[in-house]
A and B are shown apart, each in its own frame.
Chain A
Amino acid sequence: RKEVEQDPGPFNVPEGATVAFNCTYSNSASQSFFWYRQDCRKEPKLLMSVYSSGNEDGRFTAQLNRASQYISLLIRDSKLSDSATYLCVVGHNDMRFGAGTRLTVKP
């Protein structure tokens, strides 16, 4: 089993749609969780950290379920500029990257 697993997609959604990505991780001792955004062949950039209580940043909401070892990212009111690959990352000093979920937002 991979340490971090994501649905690779692709997700093709219209502008304005709400889309959710899921990620599962295998190491129950993990303490740090992040969502990164990666544009084509660019370095991944931190989108948001994921906190135990769940957290929101504008149109983006991240949630963590430790019992199920599951992380989610919800994007509301999708914009064309949200088209990218979203990477789930677990760990801090010893980061493990998921393979990413590709999102395409269409007009």
Chain B
Amino acid sequence: GAVVSQHPSWVICKSGTSVKIECRSLDFQATTMFWYRQFPKQSLMLMATSNEGSKATYEQGVEKDKFLINHASLTLSTLTVTSAHPEDSSFYICSAENQETQYFGPGTRLLVL
């Protein structure tokens, strides 16, 4: 149990396009999901906390208008990188909380050309 999926696993897109990443909890309901980003040779950085049915809480320095988070159901949170630029190229990983344990998704690698 406690499986989290992400889709897509790889994205290559042109600069200026928007990219949507989905995070799903497959066998449990998660009122809280987390979005992280990892640049090469750096540790994971928490971007935002996504709460079902309410607005996401963004960490300092993360632009909420650029990284749109929607947690419309108890099993799905989406992260949309709007008008992506090459500096947004990164590894994006989500986690879903179940009984105080975070279960991580497999991550999405984004490359913006």
Contact B107 A43 (CB under 8 A): no
Is B43 part of the contact surface with A, judged by Cβ < 8 Å?
yes
Instruction: For residue A99, give the distance in angstroms from its CB to the closest CB of chain B.
Output: 6
Check A43/B103 contact, CB under 8 A, given A95-B91, A95-B93, A99-B2: no
Task: Tell me whether chain B's interface is mostly helix, strand or loop, or mixed.
Answer: strand
Cβ B93 vs Cβ A43 within 8 A: no
> Given A45-B43, A46-B43, A8 and B107 touching (CB < 8 A)?
no
- In this complex, how many residues of chain A approach chain B with their Cβ under 8 Å: the count is 21
> Which residue of chain B has the shortest Cβ distance to A42 in the bound complex?
B46
User: CB-nearest residue of chain A relative to B49?
Assistant: A41
Closest 5 A-B residue pairs measured CB to CB?
A97-B104, A43-B46, A43-B44, A46-B43, A44-B44
Which residues between 29 and 81 of chain A lie within 8 Å of chain B, taking CB atoms? 36, 38, 40-46
Interface contact A99-B43, CB-CB below 8 Å? no
Residues of B within 8 A of A38 (CB): 102
Residue numbers in A under 8 Å from B34 (CB-CB): 41
Question: Residues of B at under 8 Å CB distance from A?
Answer: 2-3, 34, 36, 38, 43-46, 49, 91, 93, 95, 100-104, 106-107, 109
**Is there an interface contact between B101 and A95, defined as CB atoms closer than 8 Å?**
no
**Which B residues touch A93, using CB under 8 A?**
91, 109
Distance in angstroms between the alpha carbons of A42 and B97 in the assembled complex: 12
> Which residue of chain B has its CB nearest to the CB of A38?
B102
B46 contacts which chain A residues (CB < 8 A)?
42-43
Residue of A41, A45, A87, A97 ringed by the most chain B CB atoms within 10 A: A97
* Interchain CA distance A15-B34 in the complex, whole Å: 31
User: B36–A94 contact, CB under 8 A?
Assistant: no
